[in-house]
Amino acid sequence: MRRILIIGRPGSGKSTFARALKELTGLPLYYLDMLYHKPDKTTASQQEFDKKLQPLLVQDAWILDGNYARTLPLRLTYCDTVFWLDYPLDVSLKGIASRMGQPREDMPWTETMPDPEFLDFVKDFDKTEKGKIEYALSQCAKKNIIIFHSRKESEAFLKNLKLT
């Protein structure tokens, strides 16, 4: 594991898992939300985002936290390991609710209330995004793909990694 992608529905705990993995592996961690979102709550253009992403991809080792379906095929060509937090919707909604008002290192501002459009995206994730992820992963040969269906599974993985 030298180049790791962490993907999953927003609120699933990707960033929390990424930080724990960074702690255990010592690999540098990059949050795609920090490449996309600006402190003034505007967003980077596709060109700006890609310009920030490309230098990270060519590094020897990294953890990339985030979905950004448009760039998933590109990121998959560079990674060796994918962790997919494929948790139920209620887990993600609880995760989103718990982070309201909390400063986060993975976002350039503090969310004070959920955006209704964002919540619709989260609720529709299985219908709109999951198939794209499954297809992209099915096209990957020789990648280590690890899918967790619960926090208990991901926590057990981290615990086992810590013991080795």
Neighbouring residues of 135: CB distance < 8 A, sequence distance ≥ 6? none
Distance CA 18, CA 95 (A): 15
User: Within a 13 Å sphere around the CA of 59, how many CA atoms are in the beta-carbon half?
Assistant: 17
Domain 3-163 carries which CATH code? 3.40.50.300
Please report, rounded to a whole number, the percentage of residues in the chain having pLDDT higher than 70.
100
pLDDT number for residue 141 = 83
Q: Which residue has the higher pLDDT, 113 or 125?
A: 125
Domain ranges within the chain, ordered by starting residue: 3-163
Element (H, E) at 156: helix 151-163
Residue range 134-162: average pLDDT? 95
- Give me the mean pLDDT over the 10-35 stretch: 97
- Convert the pLDDT of each residue in 59-110 to its tens digit: 999 999 999 999 999 999 999 999 999 999 999 999 999 999 999 999 998 9
Alpha helix positions (H), 26-150: 32-36, 46-57, 72-78, 89-99, 116-123, 125-128, 130-138
Please give the Cα distance from 95 to 146 (Å, whole number): 21
Count of all residues that appear for the chain in the document: 164
- Per-residue pLDDT band at 162 (split at 50, 70, 90): confident
Question: Rounded CA gap, 51 and 34, in Å?
Answer: 13
pLDDT of residue 97: 95
pLDDT of residue 38: 95
Instruction: Kindly tell me if the per-residue pLDDT of 163 is higher than 90.
Output: no
* pTM exceeds 0.85 for this model: yes
What integer pLDDT is reported at residue 9 of this predicted model? 97
Q: What is the CB-side half-sphere exposure of residue 5 using CA atoms within 13 A?
A: 30
Cα–Cα distance for residue pair 36/38, rounded to 1 Å: 7
Predicted local confidence at residue 50, as pLDDT? 98
Mean pLDDT for the stretch of residues 111-120: 92
- 39 burial level (CB within 10 Å; 0-12, 13-18, 19+): exposed
